[in-house]
Amino acid sequence: MVKNLLRVESMSKHYTMKNPRIELEFRGSEEATAKGGVFAVKAFAEQCGLWERVGAEAALESRKDTSKGYEPVVYVATFLFGFASGGASMADFERLNDEPGLKRFLGISRFPDETTLAQWMRAIGKEGAKILMGINREFIAWALERIAPERIVHGGELEWFFDDTQLEVTGKCFESATLNYEGNTTLSWQTLWAGPFLACGELGSGSRDCSELLPEQLDQCRELLGSRVNYLYADSGSSAGKYLNELEAKVDGFSVSYNKWTSGPERCAKELPESAWSKEQTLKWRDGKRHRAQHAWMSYQPEGCEGSQLFAVTRHQLEQGELFWRYAFVCCESTREQSPALAVERHKLKGDKERQFSQVLTDMDLHHPPCKSLAANQVFYALGSLAHNLLQAIKLIHLPDHEQPLRIRTLLHVLMLIPVTFKRHARQLKAVCCVNSRWLPWWRKFAHELPALSGLYRLRPSPG
């Protein structure tokens, strides 16, 4: 007992705040920037050929006189560097002009202001957004070839995810905005994810069923689907028979919530023999209470389906005080799971996919569309998707295993927002990157692994 008390006493150190005696001096920002890590995004984009790809697209050119104004690559770079430095709006991107050191470091003499960015987005419109999403998918294909498979596949399958989210808008002037079930004005955003990458996005489907976009987006991603084994997660909005037909034709396996048209499946489930049900379990259900539950396989043909589908069905009831079974269904045709219980557990991984949205909506603050024009907003979100994918690719390709759980916001703070000071030395400008000692070995290794860095900057050899 005495020994334990002594150990606690030795650990309880007193911490307080002191007033250090430090000489404080202010200098112009020409000599430094706090966003020095953004140069890695520039070099990484150079490595994958992004700048050349953007420059080759006539649809991204809005100028009548190409001898004046900004080239498309400058507009795209403004968005990518703005997002990578923690910006969330075009006003933030315009403020990159307030840092002469950063502009010098990135090789851009002036960034477009907020009004010019909005004019360019409206000018290239929906066709420009489509081109940018196509470039985004080409980048994803490039990245998937270079990422260690164990970081992006589950059981040898690349997991896809389709979902619709609602973006907050204020006012009644946003094109294609509608009232949601809570009476709030929102703009829908239907997305298709390829592993950790945002591969497709469509804003404002209006009165269309959002799942109508799923077959279209899968067609847009057919080169990404390629020869891989692909598995798709979707919610109940995609469970209509016509959509299940499309999924069966386009992906190797899928898992879709089925809770909209349950009267037919419930009749079939009640007719299953007792021998079809698994051993009873006691589980903590979604309502937070303890439920008795059993699982079974079931074959059922939904209306509009060309053939019967395989369902994993769960019957459950409160552990005490409930007489009749309730049923939950997951359509999982072509599943490779050994039991219906495992199929249900795998479908619950859809929750992890849904949380990927937070890295786009929260970490990059893409909750709020910036423009009233739908076409301009589509361009903005296409560029936001590309910025997200660039940062994810840097993490997945270059960061060590123990750093893979990092979120986008943490990645921005520890890698992108690093101080850089500039010095004149022997008629040359020298940039000194001030890096946390924990990340210093990684930066040196990253610079060695990325040949494009030495093409853009003269790297000083590491000590020793």
Of the ranges 22-31, 74-83, 292-301, which one carries the lowest mean pLDDT score?
Answer: 22-31
Residue 8 pLDDT greater than 70, yes or no = no
14: left (phi over 0), alpha (psi -120 to 50) or beta: beta
Write out the two tokens for 242: 């016509």
Considering the domain boundaries, does residue 100 fall inside one? no
Instruction: Inform me whether the pLDDT recorded for 27 exceeds 80.
Output: no
Which segments of 148-257 does DSSP mark as H helices, in order?
213-220, 222-225, 241-250
pLDDT at 45 over 60: yes
Q: Residue 6: what pLDDT?
A: 47
Alpha carbon distances (Å) from 435 to 36, 41, 413: 10, 16, 12
Q: Decide if 223 is inside a domain.
A: yes
Lowest mean pLDDT among 24-28, 164-168, 294-298: 24-28
Q: What is the pLDDT of residues 185-223, one digit of tens each?
A: 788 899 999 999 999 999 886 556 667 888 899 999 999
Query: CA Rg, the chain, in Å?
Result: 26
**Contact predicate 164/356, CB 8 Å:** no
What is the Cα–Cα distance from 291 to 314, expressed in whole angstroms?
11
CATH number at residue 183: 3.90.350.10
pLDDT at 54 over 70: yes
Q: How many domains does the chain have?
A: 1
The verdict on residue 91 lying in a domain is no
Angle formed by the axes of helices 72-84 and 374-398, nearest 10°: 60
Least confident range of 73-82, 274-283, 328-337, 407-416: 328-337
Q: Is pLDDT of 97 > 50?
A: yes
Interstrand relation of 253-258 and 197-203 (parallel, antiparallel or unpaired): unpaired
CA distance 172 to 169: 8
CA 265/CA 256 separation, integer angstroms? 14
**What is the domain extent for residue 278?**
135-361
Task: Determine the 3-state secondary structure of 201 from DSSP.
Answer: strand
**pLDDT band at residue 142 using 50, 70 and 90 as cut-offs:** very high
Which residues, listed in sequence order, are joined to residue 428 by a DSSP beta bridge? Answer: 425
Residue 222: is it exposed, middle or buried by C-beta count within 10 angstroms (0-12/13-18/19+)?
A: exposed
What is the per-residue pLDDT across 249-287, written as a single tens digit (0 to 9) for each? 889 889 998 888 888 899 999 999 999 999 999 988 888
Q: Is 461 a residue whose pLDDT tops 90? A: no
What is the spatial distance between Cα 46 and Cα 80, in angstroms, rounded to a whole number? Answer: 13
* Overall size of the chain counted in residues: 464
d(CA 293, CA 277): 10
Question: Residue 235 falls within a domain, yes or no?
Answer: yes
Give the C-alpha distances (Å, rounded to integers) separating 447 from 133, 144, 195, 452.
29, 21, 26, 9
For the chain, percent of residues with pLDDT exceeding 70: 94
pLDDT above 80 (res 369): yes
Residue 246 lies in a domain: yes
Exposed/middle/buried for 439, CB within 10 Å: 0-12, 13-18, 19+? middle
In this structure, which amino acid lies at residue 443?
W
| Block residue for tokens 């799923």 | 214
The answer, yes or no, to whether residue 1 has pLDDT greater than 70, is: no
Mean pLDDT of all residues in 10-35: 81
Tokens 């997660």, residue located: 233
Q: Domain for residue 418, yes or no?
A: no
Q: What pLDDT band is residue 10 in, cutting at 50, 70 and 90? A: low
Nearest alpha-carbon partner for 389 in 204, 190, 152, 216: 152
- What the block records as the tokens of 282 is 């006691």
Residue matched to tokens 């786009």: 360
Euclidean distance between CA atoms 391 and 449, whole angstroms: 16
- What percent of the chain is predicted at pLDDT more than 90? 51
- Is residue 420 situated within a structural domain? no
Measure the CA–CA gap between 47 and 29, rounded to whole angstroms.
Answer: 29
In this structure, how many other beta carbons lie within 10 angstroms of the beta carbon of residue 371?
18
DSSP string over 107-163 = T-S----HHHHHHHHHHHHHHHHHHHHHHHHHHHHHHHTTS-GGGTEETTEEEEEEE
Query: 452: exposed, middle or buried (C-beta count within 10 Å: 0-12, 13-18, 19+)?
Result: middle
Residue 192 per-residue DSSP state: E
Average pLDDT over residues 130-145: 96
19 falls in which pLDDT band (50, 70, 90)? confident
Query: pLDDT, tens digit, for every residue of 439-448?
Result: 999 999 998 8
Whole-number Cα distances in Å, 330 to 232, 336, 342: 13, 14, 11
pLDDT at residue 204, as a whole number: 80
Q: How confident is the model at residue 18 (pLDDT cuts 50, 70, 90)?
A: confident
336 located within any domain: yes
402 is written with which tokens? 């123990």
Mean pLDDT of 309-328: 90
- Cβ atoms of 219 and 133 within 8 Å: the answer is no
Helix (H, G, I), strand (E, B) or coil at 105: helix
